[in-house]
Each structure stands twice: as C-alpha cells, then as structure tokens.
Amino acid sequence: MTNYCFLLRHPSRYSCIRVNTLKSSTDAVMHKLMDLVCENGLSDGINGVEIVEQNGGDQPHEQSSLVQKCPYAGLENVLFVQGSGPHVLNYNSQPDQSVKEVIVSRKCAESVLRGAQVFVPGVLACSSHVEKGDKVAVSVAVEQPVKDGGWAVGITRGTVLQGLQSDVHYEERKGLYIGQGTAAMSRSGIFRVLHGIAVEMTERVYKLPSFNDVLEGEIFLQNLPSVVAARVLDPQPGERILDMCAAPGGKTTAIGILMRDKGEVVALDRSHNKVMDILKLASEMDLNCIKAYKLDALKSVRKTEEATIVEMVNSHCEAIKTLAEDSGPCHVTVDGTATNVNEESSTTTVVQFVDDKNPEPKRYVSKAELRKNLRRMKNGPGRNNCFGGRVEKSKGFFPNSFDRVLLDAPCSALGLRPRLFAGEETLESLKTHAKYQRRMFDQAVKLVRPGGVIVYST
C-alpha cells in the first residue's frame, strides 16, 4: 500500500494532447508543438538552471522524440509530449537572504506537477514584499490530521510567510517544494483579484511544458482514457448524443469533433460555472452542435405525466402566439369555456386543463402566467434569459430520446496521477460512490433509444 501511494504522488512522464481535426491536422500541430518545446528548452534543462537527475529519473530525450504520435489504432488525433523528472532544484541560491515563497493548495500543486502554471485561486500563503517579477519558491500545503478525526490544511489564505526555519509553517512544507517561478503579480494583487496567473513556473521538479494559451482551439490537454471513452462511444454525424456528466467539456468536444459538428450533443452538469466552462470550450473549438444545460444527472429523465402536461401547455401557447398577432384581446378556450387574456386584465381567473381520458385535473394556469408568456412572445426573452453570464436550465429529457449516452460518472479518482493526498476517501465513501453511479446508470438506460449505445466509464 505504501508503494502504491508513493507511485501515485508522481505524475505521468508525458502529456496527452488531443488535436481538433476540424481546425488543424495532427502533423501540423505536431510541428508547432516541437517548435514550442524547443523554444522552452525542455530538452536542455529549464531556462539554463543546472538540473541533477535523481535515481530513477528520466534521461534527456532528443528533440525528435519529445513529441510523438499515439501508436494505437483509432487515436490518430492524439499526440504525446514527453517530459522528465524528478529533478533536484537549488532553492536557496543566496544563503544570506531568505527565500521568497508561495504556498499553494494540494489540487493546485497536482496541476503544477503536470505542467500548469500557478493560478490565483490556488495560492494560500505568500512571503511579504513579493513584487511582480520576483523569483519565488513554490511549495504545497497537504492536508494534516486534526483533533476531530478529519483532515484539514493548517494555513489560512493570505498568511504571511517569514521564509525562516522558525516560521510556524516551515515543517508543514519542508520537503514539499514543487518548483520555482516568477511572480506575475505582487502579493497584494494575488489576494485581491479572482483570476489570472499568480506565478509563472520556470523550474520544475517534473518538467512538463505548460499549454496555457497555446494553440487555443487547436489542441486540448486530456487524459488518454477520456479520449478513448469518446472514441468507444463511436458517435455518428446527425445523431443526438447525451454527455451526462460533461464538465469540463473535454469528452463533449471530442464527441462533437468525431461527429464533424453535425448533429446534436447535449452536455449536462449541475454546476453553473462548469456549464459556462463547457460552452466556452465549445466556442474556442468552433463547435456549434453542443448544447449545455444546468441539470443534475440524477434528474435527467422527465416524468411521463409531466411530459403530457407540458405538451398540453405548449399547444395552448401556440394558440396564444397565433392570436397575439391580432391587436385585440387574446381568447383561450379550455373545456368549452372562453377566457379573455389581455395586458390590462388584473383578474386571476384560473384555467383548468383536463385530459379526456383522465378526468382528474392536470395543471392550473393563471391569467398572470398566460399574460407573462404573451409579453415574452411580443418582446423577446429579456436580459435575464440572454446568453452570457447565465446558463440554460433543463427539466430533463423524454425517455428514449438519445441515440447514444456517455456516462462518465463521478468517482473517487484514486487512480488519478499525481495524487498528493487520498486520506479523505473511506470505505463508506467508496460505497456511496457506487450507489450514486448506479442511480445515474438507471437514468442513462431510460434515456437511450432501443438499440442505442451506452458507454459507462469511471
């Protein structure tokens, strides 16, 4: 078990790149990446700093082998960028001066170990008097056991670091340095703004190139299993596909590209911000077939009774739309009773929908609601419903309405590398994941059409 945890702490020695074949070719991107790797000096050390290989570390690679095509059939749009490590870095090049430091969260550190820069939300603490352009050492704060039996980070965001062994946080980060970089903003700026790069990494324990703002729209950094999952789904142009747990949108866009942007890909996530990320990524890749909705995957199936009611309401809305073209008041007839609806009316007469086969009332719609729909038809959706900071919500989908469904259900992510901490997972939480995934799978079975395809991955 100890050896397993040790291996998980080390990132993969390569980055997996998926090429957007609608905008470029694999060969063209390969040559661009090789030029980028050469410019960043990946094959000759990191920015001229002397690097000493630890036992077991990778040996330097020739430039021609740094970027390689995926050797597996069906994955011709995948490239591998080779990295190296672990490396030993000299953090205290000037012994008479204290080192300026930045402490980041564990999740931020895991991304940095895979080649990312340090972004503002991931910074927990920083030395005083750090200015833009200063050289800083980057370390990670890993969760520690607390008195109540749980795990927590003992650092409050915004903590000032002293850079000395007498610092109360020195032991917490000792031996957990992940690299050095240049501060992209001052200390005050780091804790004042919400977004942006805080530290541009220049020296790393594991050398993997950063792809931030590189070939935007042409490539996407994605784990190979995620690329395979979209390929196994085998989406065809013109089909209707559902990605039930779509964020951050990697598999969604992969599906759209495989369909040649012909058809419809419905992407779901219950987080507003994650739905925005999906839409942003789809826009970067010039994909128009993707529709993203805010919806819990456990509520993906719309109930049949509700579906019947919605159809009835829609039919009456169509009648309102037709009558709205006239200047006179709108008349809606339900069960032989005529009801006047106009902008000046202040009454709240109730309209009752009744199914001929079922005498029980289905739904009550007031005049106020009908007037609201009428105004929306005349004046447009209004600012609150415009595409921008808001996302479209969904009440679910009818059974048998998708040709293929991809369910990449949330899991423990215990096999994700690098993983610097796994203490939050317990046997009970693992069992909970299984129950949660089973419920999602039940939804997927109902949504796919007879003879359709479900791909379940986790």
Q: What residue spans define the domains of the chain?
A: 14-86, 101-204, 224-301+395-457, 305-385
Q: Which amino acid is located at 273 in the chain?
A: N
pTM greater than 0.75 (yes/no): no
Q: Where are the alpha helices (DSSP H) in 136-183?
A: 170-173
Residue 43 and residue 66 in contact, taking contact as beta carbons nearer than 8 Å: yes
b/e 260-296 (16+ beta carbons within 10 angstroms → b): ebebbbbbbbeeeebbbbbbebbebbebebbbbbbbe
What's CA 115's distance to the chain center, in Å?
17
End-to-end Cα separation, the chain, in angstroms: 22
Question: Is 60 annotated to bind ligand?
Answer: no
The pLDDT tens digits for 132-160 are 999 999 988 887 777 777 777 778 888 88
Token output for 184: 């992209």
**Per-residue confidence band for 261, with pLDDT thresholds at 50, 70 and 90:** very high
Question: Is 269 annotated to bind ligand?
Answer: yes
Question: Is 44 annotated to bind ligand?
Answer: no
Does residue 10 have a pLDDT over 60? yes
Helix pair angle (224-233, 250-258), 10° resolution: 40
Q: Does domain 101-204 have CATH number 2.30.130.10?
A: yes
Residue 17 and residue 34 in contact, taking contact as beta carbons nearer than 8 Å: no
Residue 111 and residue 181 in contact, taking contact as beta carbons nearer than 8 Å: no
pLDDT of residue 448: 95
Question: Is 408 annotated to bind ligand?
Answer: yes
Burial class (CB in 10 A: 0-12, 13-18, 19+), 38: middle
180 vs 59, which has greater pLDDT? 180
CB atoms under 10 Å from CB of 405, counted, come to 26
pLDDT of residue 239: 96
pLDDT of residue 409: 85
Token output for 84: 């190296």
Q: What is the C-alpha separation between 264 and 274, in angstroms, rounded?
A: 19
Question: Is 154 annotated to bind ligand?
Answer: no
- pLDDT, the chain, mean: 77
Question: Is 251 annotated to bind ligand?
Answer: yes
Question: Is 261 annotated to bind ligand?
Answer: no
Question: Is 254 annotated to bind ligand?
Answer: no
Does residue 173 have a pLDDT over 70? no
Right CATH for 224-301+395-457 from 3.40.309.10, 3.40.50.300, 3.40.640.10, 3.40.50.150? 3.40.50.150
